[in-house]
């Protein structure tokens, strides 16, 4: 039996490249490959084979649908090679689809000031994807963590329109009015699970008043956390604030992971 699949799978995982491992679980009658035959499918390619023909095309399509939807639950599906797929061998095959998908929280950092420059290297060591956005390209450092994409945009609040679902947003630009416009866009987009705003209690009182005057509801306004950061960690130095924000983010994604594990556990009871 071809053992290359194990090495190939390890390579995809090391490169953080999502993939689906397709395995023949059982067979009846005449089939092109034996039980245990495997195929690896990524977004753009497939490796190894479970027999070729329509069976393989169908399996690749199912695997890529799982990748596109982020569905990492195992799937077992049967195929009648003659009746449903028109293959001459005419047997029956049962396939197991195992998706290896790395779910990373998308963190949006609006602003490239002192706190952001202290914060992004910390986020670079955490399980997330960072989109770092500012209209002052010269403030981005020459090197950034591998998980970070620097986005230079003249109207940075317009970047809200392209953010992924369930994002985690941190608003810390050099301009309070710009901060408010970004917060307004984030609330209206409904794409964020968390909106953190840097600033003092005085700044937040002014923001709440302005948002209320613009007819934002109490429920909408409550989506913003200001001052952002772990309240038990005090300090005003950029690194102190960055560590406080990082601690709050760590608590958030760990709570999300615990919730997801509880859901998986309850589904299997």
**pLDDT tens-place string over residues 26-64:** 998 888 888 999 999 998 899 999 987 888 999 999 999
Q: For residue 263, is pLDDT > 70?
A: no
Q: Which residue has the tokens 């053992």?
A: 3
Check residue 90 and give its pLDDT. Answer: 63
Superfamily of domain 105-260: NAD(P)-binding Rossmann-like Domain (3.40.50.720)
Check residue 37 and give its pLDDT. Answer: 93
Buried b (16+ CB within 10 A) or exposed e, 202-229: ebbeebbeebeeeebeeeebebbbbbbb
pTM here?
Answer: 0.66
Calpha distance 132→111 (Å, rounded): 7
| SS3 (DSSP) at 119 | helix
Check residue 206 and give its pLDDT. Answer: 94
Q: In Å, what is the CA distance from 169 to each residue of 7, 28, 86?
A: 37, 52, 50
Q: Where are the domains of the chain?
A: 12-100, 105-260
Q: How many CA atoms lie within 13 A of 21 on its CB side?
A: 20
Stated as kind and residue range, the H or E segment containing 152 is strand 148-152
Check residue 252 and give its pLDDT. Answer: 93
The band of 2, judged by pLDDT with boundaries at 50, 70 and 90, is low
Calpha distance 50→187 (Å, rounded): 48
Check residue 87 and give its pLDDT. Answer: 55
- Cα-Cα-Cα-Cα torsion 220, 221, 227, 228, nearest 10 degrees, comes to 10
């Amino acid at each position: 039996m071809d053992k290359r699949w194990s090495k190939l799978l390890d390579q995809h995982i090391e490169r953080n490249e999502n993939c689906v491992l397709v395995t023949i679980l059982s067979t009846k009658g005449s089939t092109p490959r034996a039980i245990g035959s495997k195929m690896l499918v990524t977004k753009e390619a497939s490796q190894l084979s479970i027999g070729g023909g329509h069976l393989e095309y169908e399996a690749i399509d199912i695997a890529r649908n799982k990748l596109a939807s982020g569905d990492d639950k195992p799937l077992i599906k049967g195929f009648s090679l003659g009746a449903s797929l028109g293959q001459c061998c005419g047997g029956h095959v049962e396939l197991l689809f195992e998706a290896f998908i790395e779910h990373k929280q998308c963190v949006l950092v609006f602003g490239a000031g002192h706190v952001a420059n202290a914060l992004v290297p910390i986020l670079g060591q955490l399980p997330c994807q960072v989109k770092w956005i500012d209209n002052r390209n010269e403030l981005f450092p020459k090197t950034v963590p591998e998980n970070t994409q620097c986005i230079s945009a003249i109207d940075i609040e317009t970047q809200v329109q392209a953010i992924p679902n369930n994002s985690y947003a941190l608003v810390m630009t050099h301009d309070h009015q710009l901060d408010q416009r970004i917060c307004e866009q984030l609330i209206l987009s409904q794409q964020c699970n968390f909106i953190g705003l840097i600033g003092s209690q005085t700044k937040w009182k002014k923001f709440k008043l302005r948002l209320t005057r613009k007819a934002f509801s109490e429920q909408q306004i409550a989506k913003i956390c200001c001052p952002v950061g772990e309240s038990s960690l005090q300090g005003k130095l950029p690194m102190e604030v960055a560590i406080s924000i990082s601690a709050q983010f760590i608590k958030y994604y760990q709570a999300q992971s615990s919730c997801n594990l509880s859901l998986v556990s309850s589904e299997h009871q």
